[in-house]
Amino acid sequence: MKKLSAIAIGLTLALSGCSTMTPARYSVSVDNNLILKKYAGQTTRIISMDPPANYDSNCRLMGPIQASDGMTIPQFVQKAFNDELKFASIYSENGNSIAGALTKIQFSSASGLTSGWWDLGLTLKASNGKTISVENRYDFKSGFDAITACNQTAQALAPAVQDLIKKAISDPAFAELLQ
């Protein structure tokens, strides 16, 4: 009987390991598209996106938050930015090259008990030597229990990235990156 109990406890522990929370795929923003349309005739692309020095992807005791389609968060941001450029018809493999670096990736799934936030920082450097840096905090409702809160945190990544991109392309210095 003790052996059966030990096996049951062992199986329970093995099956209750951590989960990976993954957001939905990125979808382009109408607001970002309207901003990018003013750059019609110019072409660019994001050629790289470096990760920050440190990023803790663990959400409570549930497990890590990862981007969709097996991408890292920097790859997710790079693809999102290029998707926005494509949707605005200013993306080109032959256009001006912009290298990106995420300077900050932080999140909380338990701010004020049932709220959360993503803090994202981004530096963009164009092939012409011009650089801009932006940071953005995206607040959202997370939830009380860990499963809900961590899933909500993962789902909030895409709109957090939309807002980060909007902050970058709304910066007056963004136009200088495209010259």
Q: Is residue 6 part of a domain?
A: no
- What percentage of the chain's residues is helix, strand, coil (to nearest 5)? 40, 30, 30
Q: Is residue 131 part of a domain?
A: yes
Name residues whose C-beta falls within 8 Å of residue 135's C-beta, 6 or more positions apart in sequence. 103, 104, 119, 120, 121, 122, 167
Q: What is the pLDDT of residue 113?
A: 80
DSSP state of 26: P
Q: Which domain holds residue 79?
A: 26-177
Q: What is the pLDDT along the chain (179 residues), one digit of tens a residue?
A: 555 444 443 333 333 445 677 777 899 999 999 999 999 999 999 999 999 999 999 998 788 998 989 999 999 999 999 999 999 999 999 989 999 999 999 999 988 888 999 999 999 999 999 999 999 999 999 988 999 999 999 999 999 999 999 999 999 999 999 98
Of 153, 62, 67, the C-alpha closest to 110 is: 153
What are the backbone dihedrals phi and psi of residue 114, each rounded to the nearest 5 degrees, phi first?
A: -125, 20
DSSP state of 6: H
- Residue 138: give its domain's CATH number: 3.30.160
Look at the chain and report how many structural domains it folds into.
1
Helix-helix angle 146-155:157-170, to 10 degrees? 30
Q: Is residue 70 part of a domain?
A: yes
Q: Is residue 156 part of a domain?
A: yes
Q: Is residue 16 part of a domain?
A: no
Q: Is residue 10 part of a domain?
A: no
Q: Is residue 19 part of a domain?
A: no
* Angstrom distance (rounded) from CA 84 to CA 136: 18
Q: Is residue 111 part of a domain?
A: yes
